[in-house]
A and B are shown apart, each in its own frame.
Chain A
Amino acid sequence: MKDSLFGKTLNELTALAIEIGLPRFTGKQMAEWLYQKDISSIEEMTNLSKKNRELLSSKYVFGLIGSTKVQESIDGTKKYLFPTANGKYIETAMIPDDDRKTVCVSSQVGCKMGCLFCMTGKQGFQGQLSAGEIVNQIRNIPEWHEVSNIVYMGMGEPFDNLDEVLKSLEILTSDWGFAMSPRRITVSTIGIVPGMITFLNQSEAHLAVSLHTPFDDERQRLMPVQIAYPLAEVIHEIKSWDFGRQRRVSFEYIVFKGLNDSPRHVQELSKILNGIRCRINLIRFHPIPGTPLEATDEITLQKFKDHLNDKGILTTIRASRGQDIYAACGLLSTKEMGG
């Protein structure tokens, strides 16, 4: 099976060009065709000689992977289903909002983290995505020229697939790649500390951390990762980091009825986040099959937000989008795999 060009960095493309006897500058030419132009085959790389295109085609394929299904919500949100190299499926959401178009990408097939509230976790871990498979979720949707923001909040834990995620970020933010500002990209983690430290060192994209409760005993029942990487360690690392003025850290907080929506939680959140210039995104819970958890009501949600803002923590409620199209991450792909 031929290797894909799509998903390779400039260095990798240059190296492979040299290896098969093409001029060094062919690497840059290939990168521009792969990541900046509307073509989908090596044959269309017309500033490479016909002979060199044939040589390249004998060893490589362009490597774009088309979506097999698209669902569109009444609010304009689209969910794309992409097949993966190992015969599974991943989901990508495109969320329009005024003049913005945000793409939510997956970083793994399934997930190892087993969070109680997550549908993707019910698939178990099915495999890692390559950088090409991650970037393909942006490049291979019809709206790719209009994408304004990218969030790594789809299926999987990005920092459990760190190398490929960092490589995808390099492709997205480099001049030879998509040339996007890292300030338009947010990577979300449940708190894999070593991966988070490496990401903070090697990327300039924003960081989002799934928090969901400030109390250890509650968090470890919602998120088993708490046992290996306690929230205190995650917060300690974030506090020790100089985010500067441009880089942002935010905390994701799904609000569950009677579990994490009390004044006690507001109090503790303000205590543990004290000193961090951050935002809390409150998220409405959309129940998944078999879950013992319930969504909090709108009045409590609003009150919870107001109390956090009163404590000086910038807090917003994330708009729920695409609820009519299996919006919760993992539902569509689980259905497709017969789960």
Chain B
Amino acid sequence: MAKAEEYRSKLIELTEVILTQNREISPGVHLISWNRMHQFQAGQVVKITLDPAIPSRIYSVCSGSDEPEISVLFNIKKDGVLTPRLSDVIPGMKIWATKPYGSFKDDKSPAWWIATGTGIAPFYSMFCSGISENKTLIHGVRQLSQFYFEDELEWAMGDRYIRCCSQEQSCNVFPGRITTYLQELNELPTHINYYLCGKALMVVEVRDLLISRGVPYENILAEIYF
């Protein structure tokens, strides 16, 4: 059995940061920010918690790599240990965070970014970091209010920003799930990379669909929220 000091030392990677922003950008969805102290690459994640004694959770960074602040997007999970409390933290208060890490990273080559819900975060970070030129972004949500950052993305990406909504309808929004949208496409490019981010079932279904349509699995990189 390891000694208690050794166990505690495993937590030193978390450092205190002071919140600079906590904004509810959609019902039950918050964007929080703190000053950036480390370089990072868009697509990377941070672990955050309110207290080192509470297990940290992993969130994708949702801001550009050159911006002065690091932001994170999260849903309030009513029965969760962290998010209900995190949503109440006000600017000036401290939370704990690691420096960004992870390998969900893209370059400037053509790719499709596919996200559901708050899975938009790493792609918004990539967008804000200036690597959206050869990309197609497909965002699937249940309600129209969940198209976070849509004005900005629509303005900059135009037809390469595709919205799918399964429970509400609007013009320029595909009425249905992402998998239905993809199934209805006559052709899918097979030589580019696909980046998937969201809940497990979406990732698994989309990955299976892409593979069945001839996309090599090596071209598919997935990040699952768990």
A residues at B contact (CB < 8 Å): 111-114, 116, 121-125, 160, 194, 197-198, 200-201, 216-217, 220-221, 224-228, 230, 237, 240-242, 244, 290, 292-293
A-B contact pairs, 18 of them (CB 8 A): A112-B199, A114-B203, A122-B204, A122-B208, A124-B199, A124-B200, A124-B204, A125-B226, A160-B226, A197-B10, A200-B2, A217-B103, A221-B217, A224-B222, A227-B222, A228-B58, A292-B217, A293-B217
Q: Decide if B211 touches A201 in the complex (CB within 8 Å).
A: no
Among B164-194, those with CB < 8 Å from A are none
Give Cα distance in the complex from A30 to B221, angstroms.
50
Q: Decide if A220 touches B204 in the complex (CB within 8 Å).
A: no
What string of 1s and 0s marks CB contacts (under 8 Å) between B193-225 and chain A? 000000111011001100110001110111111
Q: Decide if B224 touches A112 in the complex (CB within 8 Å).
A: yes
B residues at A contact (CB < 8 Å): 1-2, 6-7, 10, 45, 55-56, 58, 101-104, 199-201, 203-204, 207-208, 211-212, 216-218, 220-226
Give the 4 A-B residue pairs with the shortest CB-CB distance, closest first.
A124-B201, A112-B226, A112-B200, A224-B222
* Residue of B with least CB distance to A226: B103
The one of A111, A227, A240, A293 in contact with B200, judged by C-beta atoms closer than 8 angstroms, is A111
Give Cα distance in the complex from A242 to B56, angstroms.
24
Q: How far is the CB of B58 from chain A (nearest CB, A)?
A: 5
Give Cα distance in the complex from A198 to B222, angstroms.
27
Q: Decide if A242 touches B2 in the complex (CB within 8 Å).
A: yes
Q: Decide if B7 touches A197 in the complex (CB within 8 Å).
A: yes
Q: Decide if B221 touches A228 in the complex (CB within 8 Å).
A: no
The one of A125, A201, A220, A225 in contact with B2, judged by C-beta atoms closer than 8 angstroms, is A201
* Residue of A with least CB distance to B203: A114
Q: Decide if B211 touches A227 in the complex (CB within 8 Å).
A: no
Give Cα distance in the complex from A233 to B223, angstroms.
17
Q: Decide if A201 touches B203 in the complex (CB within 8 Å).
A: no
Q: Decide if A228 touches B217 in the complex (CB within 8 Å).
A: no
Beyond A160-B226, A217-B103, A228-B45, 19 extra complex contacts between A and B, CB < 8 Å: A111-B200, A112-B224, A124-B201, A200-B2, A201-B1, A201-B2, A201-B7, A221-B221, A224-B203, A225-B224, A227-B102, A227-B104, A227-B222, A227-B223, A228-B102, A242-B1, A244-B1, A290-B208, A290-B211
* Residue of B with least CB distance to A233: B101
Give Cα distance in the complex from A44 to B200, angstroms.
44
Q: Decide if B216 touches A114 in the complex (CB within 8 Å).
A: no
Q: How far is the CB of B59 from chain A (nearest CB, A)?
A: 10
Q: Decide if B221 touches A220 in the complex (CB within 8 Å).
A: yes
Give Cα distance in the complex from A230 to B45, angstroms.
12
Which residues of the other chain, B, contact A221 by a CB distance below 8 angstroms? Answer: 217-218, 220-221
* Residue of B with least CB distance to A160: B226
Q: Decide if A114 touches B222 in the complex (CB within 8 Å).
A: yes
Which residues of the other chain, A, contact B218 by a CB distance below 8 angstroms? Answer: 221
Interface centre among A125, A201, A228, A293 (most CB of B within 10 A): A228
Which residues of the other chain, B, contact A201 by a CB distance below 8 angstroms? Answer: 1-2, 7
Q: Decide if B55 touches A216 in the complex (CB within 8 Å).
A: no
* Residue of A with least CB distance to B104: A227
Supposing A122-B204, A226-B103, A292-B211 touch, asked if A113 and B217 sit within 8 A by C-beta, the answer is: no
Give Cα distance in the complex from A174 to B9, angstroms.
30
Q: Decide if A194 touches B200 in the complex (CB within 8 Å).
A: no
Q: How far is the CB of A264 from chain B (nearest CB, A)?
A: 16
Q: How far is the CB of A118 from chain B (nearest CB, A)?
A: 9
Supposing A124-B204, A201-B7 touch, asked if A230 and B103 sit within 8 A by C-beta, the answer is: yes
Give Cα distance in the complex from A197 to B211, angstroms.
35
